[in-house]
Amino acid sequence: MCNKSFDLDIFSQILKEELVPAMGCTEPIALAYAGAKAREVLGTLPDKITVEASGSIIKNVKSVIVPNTGSLKGIPAAVSAGIVLGKADKKLEVLSDIKESEIPKISEFLEKAEIEVKHLKSDFNFDIVITAKKEESYAKIRIANAHTNIVLIEKNGKKLLESKVRCESDEGFTDRSVLSGEAIWKYVNNVDIEDIKPIIKR
């Protein structure tokens, strides 16, 4: 059972884990990262993509502009940007190297590729499964619990990586179940700003 007691250090650690270098809103960037990883594993540009995402991700990404895409919005745009031009090794900065002259390639891909978005029924608020296909080959990537936490890499029926999705704290992440409006307000009013200055300064 995850511990739900109030502790300033726990809230500061959550802040540290959330404030990581990222380009834009983290949900679409995580989708772009998953797309870039799927392309990398597949080894070629796919022509059919299935995106399964938990409800909170679908809600949060629906109207968000994806960085470096020429103001494109939504899940298909985020995934396509990662697939076409993303660099998976940069994680949440996956789209940072896109040049303005390259941006039209994303829209071209969106017009040609078959992209299906499905609601993923999951016990986790943050859960993404992307399956990228080219003819008879496919690559599947699952990210759960945190924006770069890949728990499944599968290619053509072979699992190259698989991790059990557990409580966030069991995966090295601080348990978010301690978060509530009241607890966050209590933290804000009690934390010493000097203690978290290194976290927020960047």
CA distance 22 to 64: 15
Known active-site residue 2? no
Q: Please answer whether residues 169 and 2 qualify as being in contact, where contact means their C-beta atoms are separated by less than 8 angstroms.
A: yes
Q: Where are the alpha helices (DSSP H) in the chain?
A: 8-18, 26-42, 55-61, 75-85, 104-112, 181-190, 193-201
β-sheet bridge partners, residue 130: 51, 141
CA distance 55 to 81: 21
Catalytic residue among 8, 15, 20, 25: 25
**Token pair in block for residue 192:** 């010493």
Q: Residues with catalytic annotation?
A: 25
